């Protein structure tokens, strides 16, 4: 069984520029634990072709292009599943969830949310999704229809390069904590809420900063000197090096 939140390993064929076989890449399972469409033989992942130019050099994502070029019926080898903690809890119905995702980091949350919805989840489910442009809104119609059909599902889009906050700054997943305070405050303040992060590493410290600023410190733990300070006094350096997720926070950042 491939549980949502776990990863599968994919070995792209061929060799790198040094003549060595390509390394295994990990991809998050984006299907619910019962399998895609309820079929335990089907596992999904979320792939975006990575082709970009950095400082005049054009980089082609080996594995993302390999996967994107596959045709129905093609065979490939996968390993796994791997991952033991980044899952929904076994008593999943007892919690509210706030999921923070950037880009393809939405993969595990698609599966988890499908699973919660199928189980008739009554608690609150918030997906805060960050991407550069509207065209990058992965699974947009699925999440929009869920939000329409279920009062407890909330889909917040933070589109960094097209929208602006009221002060003119960029919309990032962490700024939603302030921008959607009315919706999020009662959920984040509740002691049966779990927070999940998946996506670019850069969002981690930003989310910690916003959680600390609003006093949602149950999602964080501090070590060393930071542990002696009031969370409102944590510096960016404290947040980056000494503040860690608590047992109510789950992270998969890269
Ligand atoms: P931007 O690149 O405009 O600064 P994707 O994986 O599809 O590229 O999306 C990543 C998203 O995360 C983008 O909207 C990107 O914004 C945003 N982002 C970049 N840096 C941070 C950060 N430090 N914290 C949160 N989000 C970030």
Helix (H, G, I), strand (E, B) or coil at 57: strand
Q: Which atom of ligand 1 has the smallest separation from the CA of 131?
A: 14
87 in a structural domain: no
2 in a structural domain: no
Instruction: Calculate how far, in angstroms, residue 191's C-alpha sits from the geometric centre of ligand 1.
Output: 29
Question: Same domain for 106 and 60?
Answer: no
Question: Same domain for 222 and 132?
Answer: yes
d(CA 226, CA 236): 11
pTM, two decimals, is 0.96
What is the domain-level CATH number for residue 191? 3.40.50.80
161 CB within 6 A, ligand 1: yes
131 CB within 6 A, ligand 1: yes
Question: Same domain for 120 and 175?
Answer: yes
Q: Single out the residue in 64, 82, 100 at which a domain terminates.
A: 82
Q: Which residues of the chain carry a pLDDT beneath 50?
A: none
Q: Which residue has the tokens 């390394």?
A: 23
> Which pLDDT tens digit goes with each residue over 200-211?
999 999 999 999
In terms of C-beta density within 10 A (0-12 exposed, 13-18 middle, 19 or more buried), how is residue 226 classed?
A: buried
Question: Same domain for 73 and 174?
Answer: no
d(CA 9, CA 173): 28
Question: Same domain for 48 and 69?
Answer: yes
Provide the strand spans (E) within the chain.
7-10, 25-28, 51-54, 57-60, 78-82, 96-102, 125-131, 153-159, 193-199, 220-222, 243-245, 249-253
114 CB within 6 A, ligand 1: no
> Which pLDDT tens digit goes with each residue over 48-64?
998 889 899 988 899 99
Strand 153-159, strand 125-131: pairing: parallel
């Amino acid at each position: 069984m491939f549980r949502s939140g776990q990863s599968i390993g994919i070995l792209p064929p061929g060799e790198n520029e040094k003549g060595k076989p390509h390394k295994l890449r990990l991809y998050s399972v984006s299907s619910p634990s019962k399998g895609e469409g309820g079929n335990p033989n089907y596992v999904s992942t979320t792939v975006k072709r990575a082709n970009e130019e950095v400082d005049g050099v054009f980089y082609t994502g080996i594995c993302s292009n390999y996967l994107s070029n596959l045709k129905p019926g093609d065979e490939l080898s996968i390993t796994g599943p791997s991952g033991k903690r980044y899952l929904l809890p076994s008593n999943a119905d007892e919690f509210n969830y706030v999921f923070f995702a950037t880009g393809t980091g939405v993969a595990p949350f698609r599966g988890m949310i499908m699973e919660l919805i199928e189980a008739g989840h009554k608690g609150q489910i918030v997906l805060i999704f960050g991407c550069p442009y509207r065209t990058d809104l992965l699974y947009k119609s699925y999440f929009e229809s869920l939000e329409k059909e279920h009062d407890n599902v909330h889909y917040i889009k933070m589109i960094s390069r097209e929208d602006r906050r009221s002060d003119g700054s960029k919309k990032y997943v962490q700024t939603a904590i302030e921008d959607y305070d009315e919706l999020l405050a009662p959920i984040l303040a509740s002691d049966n809420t779990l927070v999940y992060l998946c996506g670019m590493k850069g969002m981690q410290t930003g989310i910690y900063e916003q959680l600390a600023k609003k006093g949602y410190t149950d999602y964080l733990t501090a070590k060393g000197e930071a542990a002696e300070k009031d969370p409102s006094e944590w510096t960016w350096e404290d947040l980056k090096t000494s503040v860690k997720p608590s047992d109510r926070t789950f992270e998969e950042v890269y």
